[in-house]
Structure 1
Amino acid sequence: NHHSILPPNNAEQSHALSPSVSPGWEGSLAPQGSEIPYPLLSAGVDNVASQCCERTSLEVIPSFLVKSYRIQGPESGCRLHAVVFTTRKEKKICSSLTSRAVQKLIRRLEDKQKNPSQKPRRLSFAQQKAKKTPAPKLISHVEYTALKSEIEMLKSSLGFERETGKTLGIRVDQLLNENDELLNKNNKLVAENDKLVAENDKLVAEYDELLNESEELMNENNRLVAENDKLVAENDKLVNENSRLKQLLERFIHLLNKARPSASVKKES
């Protein structure tokens, strides 16, 4: 069904996507004579049509690199009917709407818009630090020791050494010991959290490196595809030339065979 990928109401439609098409072959962009205004159809619709694709590619683009896409056509003042993808790095990529793979990609992106993933987005380390709930401020060891001494003095002044105060005094000591244990556990958790944050930063850096390598590989692949298209065009040209020469040769042989009987008749006479 190709209807879902055509812009409604004869307007050019732009689709902004959640993070997630790799740079394919980038068609040349030729500015038109004047900017054509369009009414905003809904949130995210692009009403600017000052640039049009003059060439398109059948190359398929990975969806995780697409930032947005829009469909252009004669109704928007553009010569070609194509889809214009915008990558995360703001590259404009023109793809042909006649490609089934491109149509399948657009349907996948439309489905992603209708049913956004519930998986949380990967946050950068700076975003994680801003979002992270600040840990409760801990008192220093000196402050804790001074507070503990004050409690011991308070115990003595209230007469906790007497029989009636022994239970309460023991309970205060228990609470102080429990607080020491919780303090040690908290320090251990803080250290583990710092370690996990460092590991996360390392994974984020590795992911960004892999993403850059993926784009470089796609660019190299697109260059090879373009060279292959050029070789295919040259091969088609040679095939056509060979076919033309073959026809000329067949005609020459036909004329030669046609001329032979008349020559033999002339010889007999």
Structure 2
Amino acid sequence: MVDSGDATAVVEMQGITTQFGSQVVHKDLDLCVRKGEILAIAGGSGSGKSVLLREMILLQRPTAGTVRLFDQDAAALTAEEGLALRRRWGVMFQKGGLFSALTVSENVGLPLRELDVLDAARIDGIAAWKLALTGLPAEAAHKYPDALSGGMLKRAALARALALDPELLLLDEPTSGLDPASATGICELILQTRDLFVPTIVVVTHDLDVLWHVSDRVAVLGEGRVLAIGSMDELSKNPHATVQAYFVDARQRRNHPTESPWKTS
């Protein structure tokens, strides 16, 4: 169940039902994202992870239920209030979502240009800073997205998500398609981002390295709802068959200790 009335909640979803024709994706789902945590959303294919993420950021409305963001009811927002709210979060899309006709620097600066309050030189400077924070070399700023490797593209997408210094950062499959070394770099970058900017972070992932080493809590989706939520250590002891099948494979238990060597807090 959602932590109803939690004063530290950044996102509260209650009674969420999502249906496409006869297909029910979510049924009476509850979820709470606490301020300052890294919450991972996991689950099998078709469990509705990315759909839930789209509902969090107002790209899609659930069939029924309530979504509250920063203690505001999403369904009651005016257009102006919705725009102001959207400026409080940043999103890293699964495939980057960068515009192919813009350079990397122009992509990162786009959210700032939309605000129309800074001059071009200031925007370019902020874009260069955010790219540097994500570990990209200075020359990458002038490249186009199709000239970047998979890992570099992920970092550029994260830089754009951080352009407005968001309070809420949402990452959709941040390590998908990456080689192990690049995926490890992204995991480290997520933790560094939390330490530097202290945002609340929601990560949709099927990557067990992300779940073990990055998340504070993990919400496991299945059967249209949140089957279990807690730390990976807690979930490893959860008796639900789906949770057991997802997390307690003997090979994964050997390879992924419960204590992360990367976490600093």
Fold shared by both chains (TM-score > 0.5):
no
User: TM-score scaled by structure 1?
Assistant: 0.24
Which structure is higher in RCO with an 8 Å CA cutoff and minimum separation 6?
2
- Which protein is bigger by CA-based radius of gyration? 1
Normalized per residue, the structure richer in helix is 1
User: TM-score scaled by structure 2?
Assistant: 0.24
